[in-house]
């Protein structure tokens, strides 16, 4: 039977009015059978998320201080939602249990998980769905690593015979029975796992934006929404900092071939972004832009090495990379020429071992010239259509040249899925705007 797993973020469940929107969305499609809620998020800009309040309660409890005033504010928040929704229910027993546990054993994971736990209780009652505690089905080993096979088995067993269910996001339990949370944003992961376990037709991830954007809206005014994106493209963009979805949420559904639809709770009529498998047949889609998205990050340094006849020196690259390895450094990109090699690394990780790296490279390969250039930003232009479109790289460089932006590094993988460019940090925003104009705005006018 067709089914959808739907996850709603904190902003989607921040107050009673948002709960009503969520209920309308769920009831508008009978395929939406399994619901994963986050804890209540901010209702307004200066508001405090429930999860942050719970972390603070745990911190106070751990210091032997009174946290009753803050905990009462949490209770008022939930009781306010219950009252406004007109529900005949009480969370007093749960509140008392949580308070006693925090006083006896103030564990951060337990404290943080209670926001989703309580919200799940309220949403299940409001929808008339069964409540399934994530601690009963999401299983970690004692080191905190998710045990996916055991979890999938537990989910299938627990949901057997349940037409509908609410399963709180963000947490589970260890094999020893302790509450364990994912990293922040982990409700995305829970939804993905449940979707895998129930063999969902689609995993809907509802948030406060209408999908992934082609570029950062803080840089580009009103950027287009990406209609369809492959998992590989998403991975490239997410790595460069463009993220609406928790990175770990991708694997469970990708491995099962389940598409993800990013949707907006406040604009449910918007199609959002569909994330599909890499072998998806795009011939069914109308032709879109040459590129899928643009994203960039600051905080990189480039190690520039020059040595005559470098290309004929066997093991040269291996010796350089061993210096990085010995100092605990990984590299991001490594474009090279006949007598030159440039290695891009994370500046914050390089800084503590900078002198060791320089002296190590000098000893290892005796370069003619060696320097480190800081203040580098790296941006990725990603798109499955670039492979079969002539002149894509030329257009990128034309856009940057017209803006008098100097390109410090270029790297293109053999898949031609993305082009990576290094520029000065102060040029990053303008570079993104110029490339957006070249590939999105100009193509609209054709």
Domain boundaries, the chain: 4-209+244-257, 293-444
CATH classification code of 4-209+244-257? 3.40.1160.10
Q: What is the pLDDT of residue 442?
A: 79
Which residues neighbour 248 within 8 Å (Cβ) at sequence distance 6 or greater? 182, 183, 186, 188, 189, 192
DSSP 289-301: -S--EEEEEEEEE
pLDDT at residue 39, rounded to an integer: 96
Residues 6+ apart with CB under 8 A from 364: 319, 320, 322, 323
What confidence tens digit (pLDDT) does each residue in 299-335 have?
A: 999 999 999 999 889 999 999 999 999 999 999 889 8
Question: DSSP letter at 225?
Answer: B
| pLDDT tens per residue, range 140-195 | 999 999 999 999 999 999 999 999 999 999 999 999 999 999 986 788 999 999 99
| pLDDT band for position 11 (cuts 50, 70, 90) | very high
Query: Residue 402 above 80 pLDDT?
Result: yes
Q: What is the pLDDT of residue 413?
A: 67
Domain made up of 293-444: CATH architecture: 2-Layer Sandwich (3.30)
Q: What is the pTM of this model?
A: 0.85
What region does 128 belong to: left with phi over 0, alpha with psi -120 to 50, or beta? left
User: What pLDDT does 222 receive?
Assistant: 92
- Residue 49: CB atoms within 10 A of its CB come to 18
Residue 136's pLDDT is: 97
Q: Kindly give the residue spans of alpha helices, DSSP state H, lying in 85-107.
A: 92-104
Whether the per-residue pLDDT at 283 is higher than 80: the answer is no
Range with lowest mean pLDDT among 71-85, 104-118, 237-251, 366-380: 237-251
List the one residue out of 213, 221, 210 whose CA is nearest residue 265: 210
- Two domains, one topology: 4-209+244-257 and 293-444: no
- How much of the chain exceeds pLDDT 90, in percent? 80
């Amino acid at each position: 039977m067709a089914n959808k797993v739907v996850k709603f973020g904190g902003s989607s469940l921040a107050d009673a009015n948002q709960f009503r929107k969520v209920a309308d969305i769920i009831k508008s499609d009978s395929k939406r059978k399994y619901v994963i809620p986050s804890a209540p998020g901010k209702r307004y800009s200066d508001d405090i998320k429930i999860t942050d309040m719970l972390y603070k309660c745990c911190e106070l409890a751990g210091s032997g201080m009174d946290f009753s005033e803050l905990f009462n504010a949490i209770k008022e928040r939930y009781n306010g939602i219950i009252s406004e929704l007109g529900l005949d229910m009480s969370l007093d027993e749960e509140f008392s249990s949580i308070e006693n546990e925090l006083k006896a054993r103030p564990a951060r994971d337990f404290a943080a998980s209670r926001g989703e736990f309580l919200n799940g209780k309220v949403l299940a009652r409001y929808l008339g769905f069964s409540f399934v505690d994530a601690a009963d089905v999401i299983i970690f080993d004692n080191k905190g690593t998710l045990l996916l096979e055991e979890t999938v088995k537990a989910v299938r067993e627990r949901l057997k015979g349940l037409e509908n269910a609410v399963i709180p996001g963000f947490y589970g339990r260890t094999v020893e029975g302790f509450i364990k949370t994912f990293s922040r944003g982990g409700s995305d992961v829970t939804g993905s796992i449940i979707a895998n376990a129930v063999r969902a037709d689609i995993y809907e991830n509802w948030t406060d934006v209408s999908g992934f954007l082609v570029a950062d809206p803080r840089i580009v005014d009103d950027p287009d929404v990406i209609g369809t994106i492959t998992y590989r493209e998403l991975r490239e963009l997410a790595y460069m900092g463009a993220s609406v979805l928790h990175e770990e949420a991708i694997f469970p559904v990708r491995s099962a071939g389940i598409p993800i639809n990013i949707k907006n709770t406040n604009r449910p009529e918007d199609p959002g972004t569909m994330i599909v498998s890499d072998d998806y047949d795009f011939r069914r889609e109308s032709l879109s832009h040459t590129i899928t998205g643009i994203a960039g990050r600051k905080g990189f340094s480039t190690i520039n090495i020059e040595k005559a006849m470098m290309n004929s020196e066997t093991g040269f690259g291996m010796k350089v990379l061993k210096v990085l390895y010995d100092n605990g450094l990984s590299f991001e990109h490594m474009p090279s020429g006949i007598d030159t090699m440039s290695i891009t690394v994370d500046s914050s990780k390089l800084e503590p071992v900078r002198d060791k790296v320089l002296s190590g490279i000098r000893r290892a390969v005796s370069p003619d010239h060696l320097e480190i250039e800081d203040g580098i930003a790296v941006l990725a232009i990603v798109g499955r259509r670039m492979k079969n479109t002539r002149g894509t790289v030329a257009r990128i460089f034309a856009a940057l040249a017209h803006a008098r932006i100097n390109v410090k590094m270029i790297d293109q993988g053999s898949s031609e899925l993305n082009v990576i460019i290094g520029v000065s940090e102060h040029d990053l925003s303008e570079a993104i705007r110029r490339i957006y104009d070249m590939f999105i705005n100009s193509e609209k006018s054709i």
